[in-house]
Amino acid sequence: EFKLEYDICWCRGLSPIYQFEQFINILSDLSIITTSTISVCIIGAYGHNSNISKLLSIPNLDIHFYARLDSEDFYQKLLASKIIISIPISDSSPRTIYEAIYLKKPLFLSPLPCLDWVENFTSYPASYSTSDPHQDANLLNAMLNNKKQLDLLSLKYSHPSTFIKNLDFKVISHQYLSVFIS
């Protein structure tokens, strides 16, 4: 039987475009408003961030760092997570988010135009960042504490038959070009 191991999964980089500092601030606020320990999975977060020690000093967090993983292990970590977080400033094609959608994982996201490429995404169980760490921490806390919602989320969304086909690099690059041109 499948078991959830992590409350939150960060599967993006550490650079400013991915807003890793914002993520740290959200976790800091989240640790203040909750009394339980929050398990955080960070996968293959490439790049340099001098404030990583700040992340490790936040109370109520159980941090698990993983280097780059092969596809099967990566998917297992996504599956073992309650919520996947991706809050970049911009992103032409967030493949990891598309993979999380395929796995029907709840998402906490930046509202980006690239999500419009996913058919029926408006029915997907996602919450959007407000860019305010305190408000985002409250949104995440509500998501984490709504067990019924977490259990039912994957039942609310079914993939369109074209979902996997639309993850093809040629399709994604064509969609990126159309956004870039406009």
Query: Tens of pLDDT along 52-84?
Result: 788 889 999 999 988 888 888 888 999 899 999
Query: Tens of pLDDT along 144-159?
Result: 987 766 665 555 566 6
The C-alpha R_g of the chain, in whole angstroms, comes to 16
Q: Report the alpha-carbon angle 136-23-179, nearest 5.
A: 85
Average pLDDT over residues 116-126: 75
Q: Which residues contact 87 (CB under 8 A, 6 or more apart)?
A: 18, 19, 22, 23, 108, 109, 110, 129, 136
CA 122 – CA 104 distance, rounded (Å): 14
pTM: 0.82
The pLDDT value recorded for residue 2 is 61
Query: Tens of pLDDT along 27-48?
Result: 999 999 998 999 999 987 666 6
The two three-digit tokens of residue 48, written as one number: 């340099």
